[in-house]
């Protein structure tokens, strides 16, 4: 089953709506709680990143009984150094965002931690597409 969400770029309080909707759907479908938790957290981190860095974007989720695939695309500034971005605590979030409790440099590391695969395609000035999967054991 395929789901599409648009993430608006200007509202922190609404980040999490897409991951919340996916979480609710997976619960009704009876996926194991552990799988749902990993999907929800990885997707939430991705949503927050889109709001902080890219003025929002699109999320496509494909739910299969044994695999959940999430593709998050934005037209933001791109990631100059992916290796650095993957380090825990490394953040380019502005002060204003950090003051809100976001941008602690745990977004991508958390996504990596909770997913079974993570692929980042990024082009400076064009945008970033993150493809991540969670396998149902």
Partner 1 sequence: MERILHSVTLDRDKCVGCTHCVKRCPTQAIRVRDGKAVITDARCIDCGECIRVCPHHAKKARHDTLAALENYRYTIALPAPALYGQFHNLDDIDVVLSGLIKLGFDQVFEVSRGAEIVSDATRKLMADGLLKKPVISSACPAVVRLIQIRFPDLCDHVLPMKAPMEVAAALARQRAMAQTGYAPDEIGIFFISPCPAKVTDVRFPIGDSHSHVNGVLSIADIYPKLVHEMNHLEEVEHLSNSGLIGTSWSFIGGEAAGLLNENHLAADGIQNVIRVLEELEDEKLADLDFIELSACAGGCVGGVFTAENGYVARARITRLRKYLPVSCNRAEDFGDLRALNWSQTLKENPALHLAGNISDAMRMMQQVDDVCAKLPQLDCGACGAPTCRALAEDIVRGFAKESDCFRLREGCNNDR
- Name the residues that contact partner 1, by CB under 8 A: 1, 16, 19-20, 23, 25, 27-31, 33-34, 36-37, 40-41, 44, 63, 65, 136
C-beta closer to partner 1: residue 10 or 28: 28
C-beta closer to partner 1: residue 30 or 125: 30
Residue 122 Cβ vs partner 1, minimum distance, rounded to whole Å: 26
C-beta closer to partner 1: residue 31 or 76: 31
Residue 107 Cβ vs partner 1, minimum distance, rounded to whole Å: 13
C-beta closer to partner 1: residue 27 or 126: 27
Residue 34 Cβ vs partner 1, minimum distance, rounded to whole Å: 7
φ/ψ region of 105 (left if φ > 0, alpha if ψ in -120 to 50, else beta) reads: left
Residue 7 Cβ vs partner 1, minimum distance, rounded to whole Å: 16
């Amino acid at each position: 089953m395929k789901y599409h969400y648009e993430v608006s770029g200007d509202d922190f309080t609404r980040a999490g709506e897409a991951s919340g909707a996916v979480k609710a759907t997976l619960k009704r479908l009876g996926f194991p709680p552990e799988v749902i938790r990993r999907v929800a957290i990885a997707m939430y981190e991705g949503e927050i990143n889109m709001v902080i860095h890219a003025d929002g974007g699109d999320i496509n989720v494909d739910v299969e009984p044994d695999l959940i695939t999430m593709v998050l695309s934005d037209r933001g500034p791109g990631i100059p150094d992916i290796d650095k971005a993957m380090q825990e605590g490394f953040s380019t979030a502005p002060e204003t965002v950090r003051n809100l409790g976001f941008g602690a440099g745990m977004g991508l590391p958390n996504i990596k931690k909770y997913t079974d695969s993570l692929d980042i395609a990024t082009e400076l000035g064009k945008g970033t597409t993150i493809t991540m999967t969670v396998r149902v054991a």
